[in-house]
Amino acid sequence: MEFRVTDTPRSVWTGDALVIGLFEDEVELTGDLAQLDEKLTGTLKELIEEVDFKGKAGSSAITRVGGSSPIRKIAIAGLGKAEDLKLDTLRQAAGICAKLARKEKCKTLGISFPMWKKDADATVAAIVEGAELALHQDSRFKSEPDEQSTQIQEIELLGFAGSESAIARARQITAGVILARELVAAPANYVTPITMAETAQSLAAECGLEIEILEQEDCEKLGMGAFLGVAKASDLPPKFIHMTYKPAGVPRRKLAIVGKGLTFDSGGLNIKGAGSGIEMMKVDMGGAAATFGAAKAIGHIKPDVEVHFISAVTENMISGHAMHPGDILTASNGKTIEINNTDAEGRLTLADALVFADKLGLDAIVDLATLTGACVIALGDDIAGLWSSEDSVAAQLTAASELAGEKFWRMPMEEKYFEGLKALHADLKNTGPRPGGSITAALFLKQFVKDTAWAHMDIAGPVWTDKENGYNGPGATGFGVRTLVHWALSKA
């Protein structure tokens, strides 16, 4: 598929389908739209009336144009109120229209959307991302690919000549999102600690990243007892993956992205029961997947910041050498942890990964993790939790997430709740009481970062969606990649 920007007026554009973006309560056809409708012998006006189109965000309609028209189909996409226009409204609308056009067997698509905040490049990037992510299909595990006779070959963005570079940038980002989606979607018998290490190796080769993979013995030497305590039960070797992107000159900032990388989470001896969603626990490496996706995008974009991509990858299994509930583990910073629940394993793997990142002497660390069901209860499926005791880092990430169209909600780092993690014989327990479970999880992680500004993102909700909406779903979303890339690129 190809994207192009052009200044061809919409009244003279030719191709299979033309999509017009319309604001709420502004669906009267004036100016060049009236001209276009004249050429279409009133089809546009008819369509608007027929479906009672009001321009509501997320609404769309398409119809055939008769006669010898230069376009075969005309589509309309609602963009909501003009004054509320968000970049993500355009991303969503582009996704909806791209899927609609494919269903209608169009090969060439023209999109005429308004500009967001006089920022042509951001507008183009959002439209390209929405279309590309919406059209991504994953039939790797089907013996025959899904029935899809026609694929869109060309999408033209009308009114945006000059923003060619924004197309390239958006596609570097979507390539990262798609990598993350495919890693999350692939089940645990395909994505293992070993294949994650292989993926990292080829990613590093592709993008010119430095790579270091610590094997079990290396992790033992570093005293990573928390990570290895989880890994012990698995028949597969743990892999501690560390990739580094270094810019050509002196880096403006040095950052680390740390992702939870549980290729499967059975719960361990506190095994997940019926109705727990155990069959979905292939998603438990969604943090690592976002980390890899960001590495791919950043490795191609090549900004002037140094970025470390880190994941302690293993699975949480049961076997004769599984850790017992009640065991006491020692993390690489010397802290002792009483395991009162083996299903709170992500924070154990992250503990050693955060200690490792903290020792690198960087400006900021952000971790992403499908960490708690409690966060899903608090914020639902679409919104990730964000914790940081550093307001500046929280602000940077919030700004990045707005450009990215990924929703985060800042949650309290309520130190008082640390009471719930106090243990009788060890420095801390790995789980606190059920209320506020996502907050105590964040407080647990905080014990393993001493010297670096740090933020934590709980992505257990948005890592996956059962619904089809806009450019996502159903399936893995690749959540986090776009926010991470915008964060790394931001001039903070």
Report the interface residues with ligand BES, using CB under 6 A: 265, 283-284, 341, 343-346, 370-374, 376, 431, 437, 460
Q: Pick from Zn ion, ligand BES, Mn ion, none: which does 373 bind, CB < 5 to 8 A by kind? A: ligand BES
Instruction: Using the minimum distance from each CB to ligand BES, give the nearer residue, 108 or 372.
Output: 372
Q: Which stretch binds Mn ion (CB under 5 A): 92-100, 136-144, 250-258, 261-269?
A: 261-269
* Least Å from the CB of residue 268 to ligand BES: 9
Binding Zn ion (rule: CB under 5 A), the pick from 95, 293, 346, 385 is 346
Q: Residue 284 or residue 315: which is nearer to ligand BES going by CB?
A: 284
Q: 367 contacts which partner out of Mn ion, Zn ion, ligand BES, none, CB within 5 to 8 A by kind?
A: none
C-beta separation of 475 from 181 below 8 A:
yes
Pick from Zn ion, ligand BES, Mn ion, none: which does 469 bind, CB < 5 to 8 A by kind? Answer: none
Q: Kindly tell me which of 123 and 342 has the beta carbon lying closer to Mn ion.
A: 342
Quick one: tokens of 313? 């990858």
Cβ neighbour number for residue 389 with a 10 Å cutoff = 15
Spatial contact of 156 and 6, defined as CB atoms under 8 Å apart: yes
Q: Which residue is nearest to ligand BES (CB)?
A: 373
- Active site (annotated) includes residue 140: no
Nearest distance from residue 472's CB to ligand BES, in Å? 16
- 161 vs 377 by CB, closer to ligand BES: 377
What residues numbered 316-345 form the site for Mn ion, per CB under 5 A? Answer: 343, 345
Nearer to ligand BES, 132 or 343 (CB): 343
**Phi, psi dihedrals of residue 120, rounded to the nearest 5°:** -65, -45
Find the shortest distance in angstroms from Cβ 265 to Zn ion.
Answer: 4
315 interacts with Mn ion by CB under 5 A: no
CB of 344 to ligand BES, least distance (A): 4
CB 286 within 8 A of CB 264: no
For ligand BES, the closer of residues 27 and 460 by Cβ is 460
Is there a catalytic annotation at residue 91? Answer: no
Give the binding-site size for Zn ion (rule: CB under 5 A).
Answer: 4
Amino acid at 270: N
Residue 265 as a binder of Mn ion (CB under 5 A): the answer is: yes
Reply yes or no: is the peptide bond before residue 474 cis, omega within 30 of 0.
yes
Smaller CB separation from Zn ion, 74 or 369: 369
Question: Choosing among Zn ion, Mn ion, ligand BES, none, which partner's interface includes residue 48 (Cβ < 5 to 8 Å by kind)?
Answer: none
Residue 460 partner contact from Mn ion, Zn ion, ligand BES, none using kind-dependent CB cut-offs of 5 to 8 Å: ligand BES
Q: Over the range 249-274, which residues count as b (16 or more CB within 10 Å of their CB) and which as e?
A: eebebbbbbbbbbbbbbbbbbbebee
Residue 283 binding result from Mn ion, ligand BES, Zn ion, none, given CB thresholds of 5 to 8 Å by partner type = ligand BES
Using CB positions, name the residue nearest to Zn ion: 265
Nearer to Zn ion, 216 or 341 (CB): 341
Q: Please state the closest distance from residue 269 (CB atom) to ligand BES, in A.
A: 12
Residues 356-395 that bind Zn ion (CB under 5 A): none
Q: Interface with Zn ion by CB under 5 A: which range of 52-60, 260-268, 320-328, 396-404?
A: 260-268
Pick the catalytic residue: 72, 347, 446, 482?
347
Dihedral angle at the C-alpha atoms of 385, 389, 391, 395, nearest 10 degrees? -30
- CA-closest candidate to residue 454, choices 364, 355, 349: 364
Q: Does 458 bind Mn ion (CB under 5 A)?
A: no
Question: Cβ of residue 370: shortest distance to Zn ion, in angstroms?
Answer: 6
Comparing CB distances to Mn ion, the nearer of 345 and 367 is 345
Residue of 39, 272, 302, 335 marked active site = 272
The yes or no reply on residue 284 touching Zn ion (CB under 5 A) is: yes
Closest approach, Cβ 325 to Mn ion, in A, equals 13
What whole-number distance in Å separates Cα of residue 448 and Cα of residue 351? 6
Burial class from Cβ neighbours inside 10 Å (0-12, 13-18, 19+) for residue 28 reads: exposed
**Site residues (CB under 5 A) for Mn ion?**
265, 343, 345
- Please give the residue ranges that form the binding site for Zn ion (CB under 5 A): 262, 265, 284, 346
Active-site positions read 272, 347
